[in-house]
Amino acid sequence: MALRNRRIDITEGSRPVLARHAKLKFDEARQVWVILVPERVLAPDEIAVEILQLCDGVRNVDQIVDVLAARYAADREMIGADVIAMLRDLAEKGFLAEAQDTKP
Amino acid sequence: MSPTLTDASSLLADPADGLVALESRKSQAETFGIPLAVLAELTHRCPLQCPYCSNPLELERGGAELTTDEWKRVLGELAEIGVLQIHFSGGEPTARKDLVEIVQHATDVGLYSNLITSAVLLTKDKLTALADAGLCHVQISFQGSEEGIADRVAGLKDAHARKVEAASWVRELGLPLTVNAVMHRQNLFQLADIIQMAVDLDADRLEVANVQYYGWALRNRAALMPTIQQIDESSRVVEEAEARLKGILAIDYVVPDYYALRPKKCMGGWGRQFFNISPSGKILPCHAAETITGLEFETVRDHSIAWIWQNSEAFNRYRGTGWMPEPCQSCAYKEVDYGGCRCQAFALTGHAGNTDPACALSPVHEQIFKTAMREAAGDTRRFIYRNFAGGTLEADAHGA
């Protein structure tokens, strides 16, 4: 029995993006952000939305943490731990992918 | 900071949800939100003949189906009023020649699309075109763990093998896969194998649903009703698999309610968080709602979806708790299960407003339980296959 593991591992160097089947979207009717995944709708809070918006396939996790630490003038280590925990949670559920190198 | 992700079903509890886009008229619907997800039955045509088909006994003919343009308009309306996900179902949705165009339109208006399919009509090219059109998720139904039983239940030779092949294409294309298996007395012994099959097919989710007895399944109840020993054994098998496969395969298990003590919260409550669109455009509180005689259902050809959701008498009849008789009215669970299932109450008592007999407090619960026990112990095996001719009894050779 071959169990293919498609859950990616999140480290400081990863460049995560939402998987093709996980869509971050602003729900105009309810005025909230949602993540659409198979058979479910997730409601990310403001910070989670910010993190996911920074997951653009170019920045790695380290750089995302840099942006947030500067934006909130907050403790880098604490932010780093929170960001990684959230991304791991999403990765665990199969909703994140590793950005592919896009060389011309 | 501590970012969090929560399940959005709580969004539905907010009374104002989505109603900004609705015409404001005084109705009970104003206290409910717009569903997050809607089921679109694109057609009742299907190459399979499963004896528990969830379509009504009186199937809608191809000629009555909404046109491509009508479905596109419907999808636009759904997105506008706040629906987020669309499940394309049937019948067999891939029997529609315009499916790719319909899926593309769902993508264009921002709907998250799910294909619920038997997969026997799929080709790799067709599936690739659907993925390119933005399809987000595929759910394939299986009738057993191997072709012997599976093809017999489906009433179609080679169906099982085609499903297995299609499932591999789904994963090759990088689409998430849900395996759906409908269980009953004649295939429950394969449950452990079906779970393993889902793992081998690299599925993300497995839905194991015991047959619910409406329409076709009710006609076939004696051939399908599981024994109580089978149900006990199944619960054990599922529990063990859930623990073992954590992080590999998510399992949703639906128990049969004839053996339950409390009724299911059917559809999350009548007209509360779900509706279904029939091939001809009727808006229904659930796919079995038409089994209840005496209710009139409006179609998207005559009214806007927002208007129907809010004003349809059929929807408003059993919304909330005001319609409930005793013992429901004074029951502590009335806002937990909303009185169970209207279709089941109608099928088993003749009145949709009665307490769902699946509830131990229903005066006929004991009688239903005994019926289930008796039918489960009986020797009826032959199916009445679902078709446009009103059903065909299985030939003796298979099920005798």
Separation CA B232–CA B252 (nearest Å)? 16
3-state SS, residue B141: strand
Q: What's the distance, CA B263 to chain centroid?
A: 17
Tokens describing residue A96: 């994140």
Asked whether residue A69 carries a pLDDT value surpassing 90, the answer given is yes
B176 touches chain A (CB under 8 A): yes
Helix axes A61-72, A46-54, angle to 10 degrees: 130
Kindly indicate the confidence band of residue A6, based on its pLDDT and cuts at 50, 70 and 90: low
pLDDT of residue B2: 62
Separation CA B63–CA B82 (nearest Å)? 30
A73 touches chain B (CB under 8 A): no
Tokens describing residue B328: 């429901």
C-beta separation of B85 from B112 below 8 A: yes
Interchain contact, B112 vs A23, CB within 8 Å: yes
Q: What percent of chain A has pLDDT over 70?
A: 89
- Angle at CA B129, nearest 5°, toward B202 and B172? 20
Q: Write out residues in chain B with pLDDT < 70, as ranges.
A: 1-32, 397-400
pLDDT of residue B397: 57
Which ranges of B201-278 does DSSP label H, i.e. alpha helix?
215-219, 221-224, 228-244
Asked whether residue A92 carries a pLDDT value surpassing 90, the answer given is no
Residue B268's nearest CA partner among B27, B32, B103 is: B32
C-beta separation of B179 from B250 below 8 A: no
Separation CA B12–CA B54 (nearest Å)? 26
**Closest Cβ–Cβ partner in B3, B6, B85 for A36:** B85
Per-residue pLDDT averaged across A1-26, rounded? 79
Separation CA B168–CA B147 (nearest Å)? 17
For A:80-99, CB contacts with B below 8 A are 82-83, 86, 89-90, 92, 94
C-beta separation of A73 from A81 below 8 A: no
Task: Region of B352 please: left (phi>0), alpha (psi -120 to 50) or beta.
Answer: alpha
Residue B75's nearest CA partner among B65, B85, B62 is: B85
For chain A, the residue count is 104
Q: What's the distance, CA B181 to chain centroid?
A: 12
Interchain contact, B11 vs A21, CB within 8 Å: no
A103 touches chain B (CB under 8 A): no
C-beta separation of A61 from A87 below 8 A: yes
Nearest-CA distance B14 → chain A (Å): 9
Q: What percent of chain B has pLDDT over 70?
A: 91
Cβ-proximal residues to B393 (8 Å cutoff; 6+ apart), any chain: B382, B383, B384, B385
List of long-range contacts for A98-103, beta carbons under 8 Å, 24+ apart: A98/A8, A98/A14, A98/A15, A98/A16, A98/A17, A99/A15, A99/A16, A99/A17, A99/A57, A99/A58, A100/A57, A102/A57
Tokens describing residue A40: 């479910």
pLDDT of residue B386: 97
Express each pLDDT in B72-131 by its tens digit: 999 999 999 999 999 999 999 999 999 999 999 999 999 999 999 999 999 999 999 999
**Closest Cβ–Cβ partner in A32, A48, A72 for B3:** A48
Helix axes B147-154, B159-172, angle to 10 degrees: 100
B-chain residues near A47 (CB < 8 A): 1-3
pLDDT averaged over chain A? Answer: 87
A-chain residues near B2 (CB < 8 A): 47, 82
Nearest-CA distance B112 → chain A (Å): 7
Handedness of CA A85, A90, A91, A97 (dihedral sign): negative
Interchain contact, A41 vs B247, CB within 8 Å: no
CA-based nearest residue in chain B for residue A45: B4
pLDDT of residue B257: 81
Nearest-CA distance A104 → chain B (Å): 23
pLDDT of residue B76: 98
Residue B214's nearest CA partner among B395, B27, B358, B22 is: B358
